[in-house]
Amino acid sequence: MSVPAISPSVLQTALEALCSDHSGFDDHFRRLPFAWPADGSLVNGDFLHPLFGADGADMDALVEHIYRSLIPFCLPRGEVKKVTKAALAAGDIHPIIALADRARELFVRTRGATTAGGEAGELILFLLLEALIKAPLLVSKMSLKTNSNMNVHGRDGIHLRYCPSLNGLVLHLGESKLHKGLAAAVDDAVSSIEQYLGDRALRRREFDIINGNMDLSGLDAESEQHLRAVLNPYASPPSPVHRTHTCFIGFEYGGYAKVAGIDSTKVEAEFQRVYARRAQTAAPLILEKSAKLPATTRLHFFVMPFPDVDSFRTTFSQKLGVQID
């Protein structure tokens, strides 16, 4: 089957336009200037940290910001656009409020009240992929989970983008791990990827889900036709699509205590200085642990420290209106 031709720049622009509005992202997520070791591997990443307020890392502000992503994370893009457009045209905000309520209820129901605090990592991963990488969500697994007959276990997120440097499409297969320790979080992520790569049935089921449930609402007809042809797992010959296992790694970090009490105008710069030293040891650790995966495995790590992981889980769950164990 021939794949309909399309200009790479047109495809890239069309895909990036599918990303939700994440205004304010740069006010809540800071990137640490850091160059990963050029060791020839396919491992890369970003070291991030939350916004600092007058009393240290502002976790309340972070929770409020990621909570705003519940609607595009949980609900199909086309439905959100249709309801929002009609509501704005009618000057009636109640349908939008109803969307937010349904997204929250879906998130809590599919995740379970006892684990919702840990699932904040999936929401952060979604936000980072769309706002930072410009890779829109391809499959809304949350909405699929309302169908109890559908097995949608697998990656924590499936996103898609066009990469000029690779001259092709990249599927970002998400992993989200939030642990007390950095090493444990990386181990958990690598183990999950290793299991995925070693399970053909799981991989086929994942791509069957993609093939049958791509959320391409908003794309022009040319781009949609091209993507459906390229991502068809039954096409012969199959089209080349790059796969990057993209991991959010959240861990508890004592560096916040080292900058406690510093003037609010200087604290973020001092924290970045302390955090940069940690990144110098964290990157080799991640590379070492990733070495157990096949050398052809593309990996991207978003590494983010928290002052207190349990406190973050609790704050997020309180925002959702649930309790966690």
Phi then psi for 309, rounded to 5 degrees? Answer: -65, -45
**pLDDT for the residue numbered 32:** 94
Condensed to tens digits (0 to 9), the pLDDT of residues 19-59 reads 999 999 999 999 999 988 777 679 999 999 999 988 889 99
What's the confidence (pLDDT) of residue 163? 94
From the list 60, 75, 99, 73, the residue with the least C-alpha distance to 311 is 60
Tell me: the pLDDT tens digits for 6-21? 899 999 999 999 999 9
Q: Is the pLDDT of residue 246 over 90?
A: yes
| Amino acid occupying residue 86 | A
Check residue 194 and give its pLDDT: 96
Per-residue pLDDT band for 147 (boundaries 50, 70, 90) equals low
149 three-state secondary structure:
coil
> Residue 43: which of 186, 253, 252, 196 has the closest Cα?
186
% residues pLDDT > 90 (the chain): 70
**Is the pLDDT confidence value at 255 over 90?**
yes
* Residues 6+ positions from 37 with CB-CB distance below 8 Å: 283, 284, 287
| pLDDT value at residue 115 | 53
Residue 145 has a pLDDT of 60
What are the angstrom distances between the C-alpha of 165 and each of 8, 37, 131, 242, 254?
11, 19, 19, 12, 37
Query: Amino acid letter at 131?
Result: A
Q: Is 253 exposed, middle or buried (0-12, 13-18, 19+ CB in 10 A)?
A: buried
* Euclidean distance between CA atoms 44 and 35, whole angstroms: 9
* Cα gap 102→156, rounded to integer Å: 20
116 pLDDT more than 50? no
Among the ranges 114-118, 148-152, 208-212, which has the highest mean pLDDT value? 208-212
Mean pLDDT, rounded, for 149-165: 76
Helix (H) or strand (E) holding 247: strand 242-252
Q: What is the mean pLDDT of residues 262-274?
A: 93
Confidence of residue 151 (pLDDT cuts 50, 70, 90): very low
Q: pLDDT at position 53, please? A: 85
- Residue 113: predicted pLDDT: 44
Q: In the prediction, which pLDDT does 206 show?
A: 85
Specify the pLDDT at position 146. 56
Q: Rounded to 5 degrees, what are φ and ψ at 113?
A: -60, -30
Over residues 114-124, mean pLDDT: 72
The band of 114, judged by pLDDT with boundaries at 50, 70 and 90, is very low
Q: Which pLDDT score, from 0 to 100, does residue 237 have?
A: 83
Q: Which two tokens stand for residue 179?
A: 């642990």
What is the rounded distance in angstroms from the CA atom of residue 142 to the CA atom of residue 111? 9
Task: Return the closest-CA partner of residue 309 out of 25, 118, 122, 156.
Answer: 118
Specify the pLDDT at position 118. 54
How much is the mean pLDDT over the chain?
A: 89
Name the pTM for this structure. 0.92
User: How far apart, in whole angstroms, are the C-alpha atoms of residue 257 and residue 240?
Assistant: 47
pLDDT at residue 73 is higher than 60 = yes
Q: What is the DSSP string of 40-100?
A: SSSEEEEEEEEPEETTEE-HHHHHHHHHTTHHHHHS-HHHHHHHHHHHHHHT--HHHHHHH
In this predicted structure, which of 145-154, 221-230, 311-320 has the lowest mean pLDDT?
Answer: 145-154
With 90 as the cut, is the pLDDT of residue 86 above it? yes
Task: Report the candidate in 298, 268, 319 with the shortest Cα–Cα distance to residue 120.
Answer: 319
User: What is the band of 111 on the pLDDT scale with cuts at 50, 70, 90?
Assistant: low
* Of residues 180 and 38, more confidently modeled: 180
Q: Which residue has the tokens 């898609």?
A: 160
pLDDT surpassing 60 at residue 129: yes
* 219-248 average pLDDT score: 90
The residue ranking higher by pLDDT, 39 or 134, is 134
